[in-house]
Amino acid sequence: MRAELSIPSFNAAPRKSLVSHVETQIRDALIEGRMAPGTRLVTKDLASSLDVSITPAREALVRFVASGVLSAEPAASFRVPSFDAAGYRELSVIRKRVEGLAAEMASENITDADIASLDNQLASLERACAGADMHIALKANHEFRFAFYAFAKMPTLLDVIDTLWLRAGPGHNMLFIEAGQTFDPAPYRTLIEALRRHDADGARAIIEDVIDALSDAVVARLRAEDSRTA
């Protein structure tokens, strides 16, 4: 059984937009692998960490419950849901469909200037991945992917992808933080070349392969954990 986990450190909130600030801090923690599956968030502790009152902290947490990113528990607490292998695989299958569509549409819309901008962003991601802090690398990966998907010019699709990433985010903690694996951005170089050719099928295939590789690694770790606790 997974041990009780404490919440990560957060930055104090500015005076305005307190709920949005709390949401941003939680979103970043999920995307950057700073919350493991099973992490418990107590409203008063989160509020204290962010230097806000309980009300905006609770409101932000409830919003994540509504989208399935967190689950509500007794005693004014919330939890990052745990995965099983089948559940994570299902999430990955859905991600392949919607992110593949975003990749396909983006490759049709993207301009030479857009590709140059994305290429610069990839260089930043490569530098982050070469460093020692995987949280920074995971954040840079998120920024690269969503910059690419934005060229699809489908904001509703982008919202769907965003929610799926938040739900998948704790898998990043299992793989890149707990297990110490590194993120390899090499497939994105092939993606850039596909975009220069406006190869929609190629772009979709690369994104789907990246999702498959991550899914396979997380599922393997989940199954290994299950075998140890069986």
* Tens-place pLDDT, residues 22-58: 999 999 999 988 898 999 999 999 999 999 999 999 9
Half-sphere exposure of 53 (CA within 13 A, CB side): 5
What token pair was written down for 225? 């954990």
Class of the CATH domain delimited by 85-229: mainly alpha
Alpha helix ranges (H) inside the chain: 18-31, 43-50, 54-66, 85-109, 112-130, 134-150, 155-172, 186-196, 200-229
Given phi > 0 = left and psi -120 to 50 = alpha, else beta, which region is 211? alpha
Cα separations in angstroms, 28 against 3, 93, 99, 164? 23, 23, 20, 14
Residue 229, amino acid: T
Report which of 76, 69, 1, 89 is spatially closest to residue 45, judged by C-alpha positions: 76
**Cβ(69)–Cβ(83) under 8 Å?**
no
pLDDT on residue 12: 60
CATH number of 18-79: 1.10.10.10
pLDDT in tens, 163-189: 999 999 988 888 887 777 888 999 999
Percent of all residues in the chain with a pLDDT value above 90, rounded to a whole number: 74
Dist. CA 36–CA 177, nearest whole Å: 9
Where are the chain's structural domains? 18-79, 85-229
Beta bridge partners of 102: none
